[in-house]
Chains A and B, each alone.
Chain A
Amino acid sequence: MAEKRVTFKKSTIAWLLVAPQLAITLVFFIWPASQALYQSLWQEDAFGLNRDFVWFDNFSRLFDDPSYQHSLIVTIIFSLSTAATAICFALLLACKADKLMRGSQTYKTLLIWPYAIAPAVAGALWWFMFNPTVGILAYIARGLGYDWNHFLNGDDALILVILASAWKQISYNFLFFLAGLQSIPKSLIEAAAIDGASSTKRFWTIIFPLLSPTTFFLLVVNCVYAFFDTFAVIHATTRGGPSQATQTLIYKVYKDGVEGNDWSSAGAQSVVLMIIVCLLTVIQFRFIERRVHY
């Protein structure tokens, strides 16, 4: 058999080779994670002068807190909407760009631009455009008979942060979809066209299934993005308000830990987040990946 497999006589070299990777995992993951776990079992004042070991008191306090349950719901709605919006728009744009004959380079470049914008800037931009007093989009909305006010209306605020977060992610998704589309053999589509399939039919029966690995990958990446990378967007715009309508789990950790100096509760929340991430990953790879054609 011509199988190539590197084997080491002594395990020392093997250990040496994996050591850098292990060290990084230890320093940047295991150590901070264990600190959070440790912190979550204590209750202490801001300066760390008094501390009590309280077992799981921080966790029970957390689950009894209606605002925590509310944050969880907000996070789910926010993540799914952001991922769905970003994926749908990117797919639409990619399909259009793929068909383009002239000027496609310019078009593609322009679509990729938003990705280079810092999340906080993206947030501030949308915040300004939707400002109830001076924003152009709020002005248009008012012209259409809708009184936009994200300072008071929680749904408006949530739509705002979803748009700002999704807008940035569209460029990223667009790139992947475009690459995916270009790798679909033209002969397949032409054959279907000769058989008389309409362009809608061709999309749903050939293109979309062949894009499913890309879509699945993007779903995972977008959900993770919406869960963990949108702090800056929210911080630069609604700061979790009004009345906690845009307070995601990550933002709550910041509010309680950094603003409220309640490190014990923030530690407990981080531990819960870690568990959620593990669960999400397992669910996604176990159940959704099976339906994907590679």
Chain B
Amino acid sequence: MFKNRLSRLLTMITSVMFLGAASAQAQIEIQFWHAMGGELGQKLTELSERFNTTQKEFKIVPVYKGTYTETMTAAIAAFRAKQQPHIVQVFEVGTATMMSAKGAVYPVYQLMADQKEPFNPNSYLSAVVGYYSDSKGNILSLPFNSSTPVMYYNKEAFRKAGLNPDQPPATWPELEAAAKKLQAAGYVCGFTTAWPSWVQLENLSAIHDQPIATKANGFDGLDTVLQLNGDLQVRHIGKLAEWQKTKIFDYGGRQSNSAPKFYSGECTMYMNSSAAYAAVRANAKFEFGVGMLPYWPDVTQNPKNSIIGGATLWVLNGHPKEHYRGVAKFFSYLSSPEIQTEWHQFSGYVPITNKAYEITLEQGFYGKNPGTDVSIKQLTRGTPSQNSKGLRLGSFAQIRDIIENEIEAILSGKKTAKQGLDDAVRQSNDLLRQFERTNR
């Protein structure tokens, strides 16, 4: 309260001081908090600045707020203190939390309709749009940077082991056989993974058309129950634990901590986000290829689409009405095919609109950068089912933490796959019930 008053006083003083200057530029500033560090952050600033030059009324002010978690927490804290930004970038894991915060968020479909800006959900990839729509098909936040896990592999190692470098293993049994050959050729470990829960459980389930949670993975209601302890998941994690012993699989930590194992040539295959492409290209001292995530052929012969990660832009309530016109204009600019194409080719995130994909295809980008189209092909294969549309679970940042705790316990041999996943489900369900209770 005190801070509020103080800042208002300061604003008053400064506005009096700059009265002359202020009348010359009555620009409305739009705060945009994001989590894009390094080169991606610079690109985002550049895009915002270019938007600012297209018109005089609004000025987008992009502010880097740290990691995804830090950005979301900062925005929530700011909202509680009534100092919230207009736009905040939130990762997919925070989607359910944002959606339940009715009154705090201004749904994008409504914003665009209110401001009469063109906005067509059909122009987006269905795998992307499905993740961020409500049950009526309305898009609640603006898709911006989406990725999906793929498999990077060391082509030189494949050659050395007598494997076809242009044909990465498509199924898990093939991958196991290839890993054994690679180990026989002198490589320490077969494969490693980043983001264990996202890649080895959430995407595994989607690809094999198995549920992650009841109520259509949480899309149909808050009274959902986690189901990650099904036969497929127990078998798969059990297999990982078995492979860990002989280093066919070698665990390298959460997030992208396992990256050095692939870069150093210790592990020959590496599953991570398609957005890691630039990092892999910069760090791998060998020729590498990109393949789709493997599947279990006895569970499915027609693997489904994988699910996305990444972030969307959410609009927060509580600002004067005319500000939102600027937000809507900025969103139209960001979703234009040209900007989307540029962003996709620069970052390695998937092209989220069909148009951006077509343009990139026409420009021959995929021919020049082999493997960059694997992610979009994997995202768009087959017809999405209830199980492959994505997931919408409250407190999911904590649930993912619980899942990864249990995966680590299983891989280190402290628990069996069944025990560990059962425990993960039980603890997660407690959180889901609590989320249901506080978000009635």
Contacts and interface: CB of A to CB of B under 8 A. Distances in A.
Interface residues of A, number: 32
B76 A259 contact: no
Contacts of A133: 252, 260-261, 264, 266
A232 to B, nearest CB: 15
Contacts of A44: 438
B73 A259 contact: yes
B251 A50 contact: no
B266 A46 contact: no
Interface stretch (A7-15, A203-211, A223-231, A239-247): A239-247
Chain B binding surface, main DSSP class:
helix
A65 B309 CA distance: 30
Nearest to A153: B412
Interface string A51-77: 010000000010000010000000000
A94 to B, nearest CB: 37
Contacts of B102: 49
B80 A48 contact: yes
A261 B251 contact: no
A47 B80 contact: yes
B254 A241 contact: yes
Chain A binding surface, main DSSP class:
loop
Contact of A243 (B252, B258, B395, B408): B408
Contacts of B244: 152
Nearest to A247: B405
Interface in B41-85: 69, 72-73, 76, 79-80
Contacts of B100: 45
Interface string A252-283: 00011011111000000000000000000000
Nearest to A155: B412
Max chain B C-beta neighbours (<10 A), residue from A152, A256, A262: A152
A43 B395 contact: no
Contacts of A154: 408, 412
A85 interface: no
Contacts of A46: 76, 97, 101
B437 interface: yes
A132 B247 CA distance: 13
B408 A152 contact: yes
A241 B404 contact: yes
B397 interface: yes
B398 A256 contact: yes
Contacts of A48: 79-80
Contacts of B118: none
Nearest to B414: A243
A134 interface: yes
Contacts of B438: 43-45, 50, 52
Contacts of A149: 251
Contact of A241 (B97, B103, B405): B405
A131 interface: yes
B411 interface: yes
Interface string B78-119: 011000000000000000010011111000000000000000
Contacts of B401: 255, 259-260
A217 interface: no
Contacts of A242: 253, 405, 408, 412
A151 interface: yes
Contact of B405 (A50, A243, A260): A243
19 contacts: A43-B434, A45-B439, A49-B102, A133-B252, A134-B260, A149-B251, A151-B252, A151-B253, A151-B257, A151-B258, A241-B253, A241-B404, A242-B412, A243-B412, A243-B414, A255-B398, A255-B401, A260-B395, A261-B72
Given A134-B260, A241-B405, A242-B412, 17 more contacts: A43-B437, A46-B97, A46-B101, A47-B79, A47-B80, A48-B80, A49-B103, A67-B427, A133-B260, A151-B258, A152-B244, A241-B254, A241-B408, A243-B405, A259-B401, A260-B397, A260-B401
Interface of B: 69, 72-73, 76, 79-80, 97, 100-104, 244, 251-254, 257-258, 260-261, 264, 266, 395, 397-398, 401, 404-406, 408-409, 411-412, 414, 427, 434, 437-440
Interface of A: 43-50, 52, 61, 67, 131-134, 149, 151-154, 239, 241-244, 255-256, 258-262
